[in-house]
Amino acid sequence: MTSSGIHRKPPPKVRQTSVNSCWAAALESWSRADSRIPTVTEAQMLHDFNPEGKLEGGINGDTVLDVIRQRFGLQFRICTTVDQFQRHLLEHLPNLHIFCTIRLAQNLSHALLIYRLSGPNLTTVSFMNPSKGFYTYEALKDFGDHAPFALMWK
């Protein structure tokens, strides 16, 4: 951690190829950024976890995230508040990237790969967003509308 925040090297930009494959694109980026995770591609993840294509790329967070966690030996936690989310980032982000799913709507989530916590009081979260394969940031308080957060880390 520096005086200006927690800075991990930004992961490679990976743009998702279908509307619901953000989780697979985020996993590809993460696998290319962290040598402890076997290198995978978005296409490989879509085939492995949805071989018939019935989910159009999307995943069921209650079952598939647990299978992914087990396959890659990841830790998993659900944070229901922004305070829990920030405490988790403060604890784990100094040593690794964090895979995060946020809620966009009642039954719709989106995956991100977090690599930085910065700004006054460490309240700005930087992440790779696979929707268009870009780096961006958001104020921690703005994440509040997207709880709960499913977090995975190595």
Question: Number of structural domains, the chain?
Answer: 1
For residues 130 and 16, the answer to whether their CB atoms sit within 8 Å is: yes
For residues 17 and 135, the answer to whether their CB atoms sit within 8 Å is: no
The domain in which residue 40 lies consists of 5-153
Structure confidence at residue 53 (pLDDT):
57
Whole-angstrom Cα distance, residue 90 to residue 105?
Answer: 27
Structure confidence at residue 61 (pLDDT):
58
Low-confidence ranges of the chain (pLDDT < 70): 1-3, 50-63
How many CB atoms lie under 10 A from the CB of residue 63? 10
Per residue in 43-67, pLDDT (tens digit) is: 999 888 765 655 555 665 556 788 8
- The CATH code of the domain that includes 32 is 3.90.70.10
Distances (CA, A) of 27 to 43, 46, 50, 69: 11, 11, 15, 11
Structure confidence at residue 63 (pLDDT):
64
